[in-house]
Amino acid sequence: MSIPRILIIGSGAVGAVYGHHLAMAACRPTYLIRDTKSDNSKMPRTLHRYSLVGKKIDSRQQHLRTITLGCTGWDQVWICLPSSAIESPWLLKQLALLDPYTPIILWSPDFRDRDILQKHYSGPISRALIGIISFQTPLPGENTPSEGIAYVAPPRSAVLEDSEAGNQAAAWLKAGGLPTAINDNLALHEARMTALLQPVIAALEITQWSLKKLRQSQWLSVATKAAREAKAVGETYLGKPPSRSIPGQHFLLKTAISVAPTLLPFPLEPYLRYHFSKVSEQTRIMLDGWIEQGKISKLPITSLEALRSALP
Residues that bind ligand NAP (CB under 6 A): 10-15, 34-35, 38, 40, 80-85, 88, 90-91, 108-109, 130, 133-135, 275, 278-279, 282
180-183 and 133-137: which strand pairing? unpaired
Q: Which helix (H) or strand (E) holds 127?
A: strand 125-130
CB of 248 to ligand NAP, least distance (A): 25
Query: Between 88 and 208, whose beta carbon lies closer to ligand NAP?
Result: 88
| Minimum CB distance to ligand NAP smaller for 18 or for 299 | 18
State the minimum distance, in angstroms, from the CB of residue 1 to ligand NAP: 30
Minimal distance, residue 85 CB to ligand NAP, in Å: 3
Burial category of 14 from C-beta neighbours within 10 Å (exposed 0-12, middle 13-18, buried 19 and up) = buried
Helix, strand or coil, per DSSP, at residue 101: coil
Nearer to ligand NAP, 38 or 59 (CB): 38
Provide the pairing of β-strand 125-130 with 158-161. Answer: antiparallel
> Could you give the CA distance from residue 38 to residue 48 in angstroms, rounded to a whole number?
20
CA angle 181–188–4, rounded 5-degree value: 40
Shortest distance, CB of residue 91 to ligand NAP, whole angstroms? 6
CB of 134 to ligand NAP, least distance (A): 4
Distance CA 105, CA 241 (A): 27
Residue nearest ligand NAP, CB atom distance: 12
- Between 12 and 166, name the residue whose CB sits nearer to ligand NAP: 12
Query: Cβ closer to ligand NAP: 54 or 89?
Result: 89
